[in-house]
Chain A
Amino acid sequence: MENQITKKPINKDMMISFTLLALLFVVLVILELVLPRTSILFTVLKKGAIYALVAVSMNLLNGFTGLFSLGQAGFMLLGAYTYAIFTIPVAARSQVYQYFNGGLIQFTLPVFVAMILAGLIAAGFAFLIGLPVLKLKSDYLAIATLGFAEIMRALFQWDKIGVITNGSNLLRKYPVFKTTIFYFAVSGICIAIIVLLINSTYGRAFKAIRDDEVAAEAMGINLAHHKRLSFVISSFFAGISGALLAMFQTTIQASQFKSAMTYEILLIVVIGGIGSVTGSCISSFLFIACSEWWLRFLDNANLNITSLQILRPGFRKVVFSVVIMMIVLFYQKGIMGDKEFNLGGLIKFFKTLPSQHKLPAHLKLAKTKEGK
């Protein structure tokens, strides 16, 4: 009855979620013990976890604060480079920076410090470019942030600062984690923090800004401050996911952080549902699995299913694009819309599936109301 007022921090739903998460980790541990390390499943899971984090961080900005920003790849690049630059062992620096006399930085930070620093540097840049850029609205903000990401990519390949960034050469030999659990743990903690933020008083203020900026300002919400806050926090977590990506790939190069990468993340957010954290997580795993794993067989030219020989390297991308188009056409609000995944809702959905799932949404609502 009075659930909104005396909302307890730990209720039944949360207990179920925690149990599910614990189960997930147990399953992961067992999988790692059973399957070989090189299994494609782990690649998908690791990359999926990384993309889930960056997609949720983008969702915080695009879905919850209503700022259409396309700078995510740029912030990931900052995070990835920060992590790599500060963790390459001193002994290996002369090899990595072979064209730059071993580079400028001759010390190494602990892994976790470097990861947090990766987030902080991305957040710092976000703060600086946020000052002018966040005054822009909708499409213009997208263009400005996209431009920022492209500038970052070009800047990091510049020879003149090669003593730090190694120019357009690879950064490698930094410490990496091989276990899938590590990626899930870091990404999970970060997403949990974002969820806590979204459900706090600040998260509600963000949603108010998304819904109606004028009303939000008139009700005393400082627009500039809150937009910048959202931008900086989103970039912080994009930076951390960049560091994770660097670990996952074991080598990093600025040229891979193209705008296409931002579009991939945007696609994940849109498919998952703008304004749904669980939607972003689910769709990121689906997206990565589709692009890396499930459609791989289409590239296999030796399969010879038909005499037409349409199966050739690259064909999976054609099918993948069609799949994406189908999803966008038929699931315009994404998998989850702006709802969050919860077990009770899922059970209810399957129970009512045969009888009324084809009813329009408003009719369904009316029915449940009568039920009360």
Chain B
Amino acid sequence: MSENVLKMQNITMQFGGVVAINNLSLDVNKGEIVSLIGPNGAGKTTAFNVVTGVYAPTNGAVYFNGTEIVENYPYGKMKKLYAGSDNGKFTKRIEPTPDKITKLGIARTFQNIRLWKSQSVFNNVLIAKHLRRSSNVFSATFRLNAKEEKIQREETAHLLNILGLYDFRDELCTSLPYGIQRRLEIARALATEPTLLLLDEPAAGMNPQETNDLTSFINKIRSDFRLTVFMIEHHMDLVMDISDRIYVLNFGALIASGTPAEVQSNPAVISAYLGEDKNA
């Protein structure tokens, strides 16, 4: 079980003088559900953006299934400004674009829902299958890929079916209830055939009932698709319920990690969330 799927090593992400993430190292093992929590502005989404290639980190490396997918070191203007530690440990620059990382098998959802608004539910999932095509633009235009197209449509229908979205397939995605839109975003990420799923606040804006549904939904897709899940979440009920391990970030730095029970009783975490008790 301890096979490493994702490994972030000494990641520092600096925007000018602001250090959004400072020397973050974490790993996610195969089949686990790992949560990344922390107060607002702790750098959680930035961490996701580094893993998915949206930002190139200022320093550090990311490994996926043992192969290095992102690496960078401070250079240029950042060399002077650099405020993190471990300067000089990394020497290469690997900065892939997000689509390449998705192709490797890391799919993500977004904090604020980013569905393709003019498209139907079916098309939203179907478009995500585009990256697994074998056709080129000529064969696609002149319908020489009809077989592949048919398979993709069937797979999409199948996926929608098992995720309980098939009844909405012809609806415009913006006309759906919020919880369904969240679910559709996860379905769309699954359509890219990932092995690691990154969920950015999947329960944001959900009522307790919807959150409950989401918990079982995430458990279900993890076993159905043999996924590893790495998620950011604010709903503590959900996090404590579902996670195998938890990492806690505060002001860009890792302050605690461990099982839900360990994290809950960690004084550093309590002070980060509730503030320091000066009388103590």
- Please determine whether B143 and A207 come into contact, CB atoms closer than 8 angstroms: no
The residues of A that contact B123 with a CB separation of less than 8 Å are 204
Q: Mark B91-120, 1 if CB is under 8 A from A, else 0.
A: 000000111101100011010001111111
A211 and B99 contact, Cβ closer than 8 Å, known pairs A201-B130, A221-B130: no
Question: Which of A208, A219, A223 has most chain B Cβ within 10 Å?
Answer: A219
CB of A274, distance to nearest CB on chain B (Å): 11
Q: How far is the CB of B9 from chain A (nearest CB, A)?
A: 23
Q: Is B141 an interface residue (CB 8 A)?
A: yes
Establish whether residues B118 and A207, one from each chain, have CB atoms under 8 Å apart when the complex forms: yes
List the B side residues contacting A6 at CB < 8 Å.
Answer: 150, 153
Q: Residues of A contacting B126 with CB < 8 Å? A: 204
A200 B140 Cβ-Cβ under 8 A: yes
Does A207 lie within 8 Å of B119, measured CB to CB? yes
Say whether A215 contacts B116, CB under 8 Å: yes
Given contacts A215-B115, A218-B52, A219-B188, contact A202 B99 (CB under 8 A): no
A211→B118 contact, CB < 8 A = yes
**Which of B102, B116, B143, B153 is in CB contact (< 8 Å) with A211?**
B116
A200 touches B114 (CB 8 A): no
What is the CA–CA distance of A221 and B102 in the complex, to the nearest angstrom? 9
Check A218–B108 contact: CB distance below 8 A.
yes
A4 CB-CB contact with B under 8 Å: yes
Q: Does A136 contact B (CB under 8 A)?
A: no
C-alpha gap A224/B98 in the complex (Å): 12
8 Å CB interface, A216-243 against B = 216-224, 229, 233
Partner of A212, one of B115, B131, B157: B115
- Give chain A's interface residue range (CB within 8 Å of chain B): 20 to 34
Q: Is the CB of B137 within 8 A of A208?
A: no
Q: In the complex, A217 Cα to B152 Cα: how many Å?
A: 19
Interface 1/0s, chain B 258-271, versus A by CB < 8 A? 00000000000000
Interface size on B, residues (CB 8 A): 48
Name which residue of chain B comes closest to A365, CB basis: B175
- Kindly provide the distance from the CB of B118 to the nearest chain A CB, expressed in whole angstroms: 5
A4 touching B122 by the CB < 8 A rule?
yes
Within 8 A of A (CB), among B150-168: 150, 152-154, 156-157
Determine if A208 and B127 form an interchain contact, defined as CB atoms under 8 angstroms apart: yes
A214 within 8 A of B: yes
- Nearest CB on B from A275, distance (A): 8
Question: Contacts A5-B153, A207-B116 hold; do A229 and B137 have CB atoms under 8 A apart?
Answer: yes
On whether A4 and B169 interact (CB within 8 A), knowing A201-B149, A217-B97, A219-B131, the answer reads yes
CA distance A221 to B130 in the complex (A): 7
Residue of A nearest to B156 (CB): A5
The 8 Å CB contact of A202, one of B98, B115, B141, is B141
- Is residue A23 contacting chain B, with contact meaning CB distance below 8 A? no
Say yes or no for A70: interface residue by CB 8 A criterion. Answer: no
Q: Chain A residues near B119 (CB, 8 Å)?
A: 204, 207-208, 211
B68 within 8 A of partner (CB): no
Instruction: Write the residues of chain A forming the contact surface with B, with a CB cutoff of 8 angstroms.
Output: 2, 4-7, 9, 193, 196-197, 200-202, 204-205, 207-208, 210-212, 214-224, 229, 233, 275, 338
Give 10 new A-B contacts, CB below 8 A, not counting A9-B143, A215-B116, A229-B137. Answer: A4-B120, A4-B153, A197-B140, A201-B135, A201-B152, A216-B116, A219-B128, A221-B131, A222-B99, A222-B100
User: Which 7 interchain pairs have the tightest Cβ spacing?
Assistant: A220-B131, A220-B102, A211-B116, A215-B114, A200-B140, A197-B141, A217-B98
